[in-house]
Chain A
Amino acid sequence: MNEIRFDSDASGLSLKCKEKGLRFSNLPFEDAKDRMQSLVYSQYRTRKEPVGEGGVSIFVENDPFCLSFTSMITYFPVSVYLTLLAVYFCLFNLPLQFQYPDMIQVYLNVLSGVVFSVETKFSLSYFSMLMFWMLSSGFITLLIVSPLYVVLMRVFGVMPVLVYRFLYYKVLGLFVRTEPSQS
């Protein structure tokens, strides 16, 4: 369980979070609830020390899928890079043998061998054969890739904590609308 500490005002729905410098005052109920939802979305914001006098805490369960913003920030650039790399290869037709691991090459060879044998029987056109090869092998690959991706996020999603904290609290915190502090 992760604990997020708030220091409550006298009025029920006013909240302020000193560490983030945020203060929500006199908010409508739904608005306050939405803001609480967004604030407690962080799974790495852990506070172990007891809450002081007058404060309230919200206890949040760890995200079981690691599908939080941490994983998105971490893996989104990777996938963008892969996509751009693929587009670059398609455009400039670079040599392939240096770009792919042996396992993928073996896998592709097996699949293409199956399709070639089909082709000799039915004499498919170049385009239709490519379509068939692409759809069949693509489907199989995606079935492998998508669970693997979830597993990777589950395993490595907890590593980039520092990057996440910096991006979430420093950069994205600039865009969070804050109420002026009431002294």
Chain B
Amino acid sequence: MAYFVPIEIDKRENGFTGRFSFDPSFSCTADTRDALVKKLFVAINSFVQKQKPLEFLSYLEHHLKENGIKSHQLRIELLSVNERMILLGLLALKSIVFYLLFVAAILFLFPSLLTSDTGSGMSMDLIPQFRAQALLVEYCIVSGFVLWFLLFLRFGYPVILRAYEGAIVSSKSLMRIHMLFIGRPANLFLSQSYVFRGSTS
């Protein structure tokens, strides 16, 4: 889930000065415009991703809805890179298990896909045939998984991620669980340089 943070950039004689539109108390300077944007982004991004302040996020939504898009915006994500990596890893592991179960079920239901002499004992004469067929099955499994994993990454993963983010934003108990098991360990080394001290009402 992405949020848009309004910023204001002023050009001065010795560089650029920037601040958040909703918080005049915070400002930073830099030599170049890119460096300034990067500083502002790091400040607000680390604050949101580490703290996940729900009131502040709803305030951001309300601010954007009220004022429109009149100034420059920073696009920040609710979940940090580490959190998304953990979620993606969990989903990938689950995908592998389910995919193997699916393949096993298909092969169990249709054993003729593998061999015509199902149930016969293994013998040395069958080893070359077995290895050839096993190689093909293995190749099918791996390439099939890559295909489905791609489709999942393109179409399934964003939907799941968005639903998950919506769930943790709308439920405080889910947010607590997420912060306990994923959020805090993932963002342990994320340095935070900005705290919003204004009123969100």
Closest to A75 in B: B150
Closest to A40 in B: B75
Closest to B97 in A: A139
Kindly state whether residue B143 has any CB partner on chain A within 8 Å: yes
User: What 0/1 readout, one digit per residue, does chain A (85-105) give for beta carbons within 8 Å of chain B?
Assistant: 111011001001000100000
Out of A65, A82, A126, name the residue touching B121 (CB < 8 Å).
A126
Interface centre among A33, A100, A129, A134, by most chain B C-beta atoms within 10 angstroms, is A134
Taken together as a complex, chains A and B put the C-alpha atoms of A133 and B122 apart, in Å, by 13
User: What 0/1 readout, one digit per residue, does chain B (76-119) give for beta carbons within 8 Å of chain A?
Assistant: 11000100110010001000100110011001100100110111
Out of B122, B132, B150, name the residue touching A126 (CB < 8 Å).
B122
Contacts of A134 in B (CB 8 A): 103, 107, 134, 137-138, 141
Kindly state whether residue A156 has any CB partner on chain B within 8 Å: no
User: What 0/1 readout, one digit per residue, does chain B (23-60) give for beta carbons within 8 Å of chain A?
Assistant: 00000000001100110010001000000000000000
7 A-B pairs with CB atoms under 8 Å apart are A57-B73, A58-B4, A61-B41, A86-B139, A127-B119, A130-B115, A142-B99
Taken together as a complex, chains A and B put the C-alpha atoms of A112 and B133 apart, in Å, by 12
Kindly state whether residue B190 has any CB partner on chain A within 8 Å: no
Chain B binding surface SS class: helix
Please give the residue numbers on chain A whose beta carbons come within 8 Å of chain B beta carbons, in ascending order: 1, 3, 6, 8, 11-13, 15, 29, 32-33, 36-37, 40, 48, 50-51, 56-61, 64-65, 67, 69, 72, 75-76, 79-80, 82-83, 85-87, 89-90, 93, 96, 100, 108, 112, 116, 119, 123-127, 129-131, 133-135, 137-139, 141-143, 145-146, 149
Min Cβ gap B21→A in Å is: 12
Taken together as a complex, chains A and B put the C-alpha atoms of A133 and B7 apart, in Å, by 58
Taken together as a complex, chains A and B put the C-alpha atoms of A96 and B140 apart, in Å, by 14
Please give the residue numbers on chain B whose beta carbons come within 8 Å of chain A beta carbons, in ascending order: 2, 4, 33-34, 37-38, 41, 45, 64-65, 67-77, 81, 84-85, 88, 92, 96, 99-100, 103-104, 107-108, 111, 114-115, 117-122, 126-127, 130-147, 149-150, 153-154, 157
Contacts of B72 in A (CB 8 A): 51, 56-59
Chain A binding surface SS class: helix
Taken together as a complex, chains A and B put the C-alpha atoms of A80 and B149 apart, in Å, by 12
Out of B73, B134, B140, B146, name the residue touching A56 (CB < 8 Å).
B73
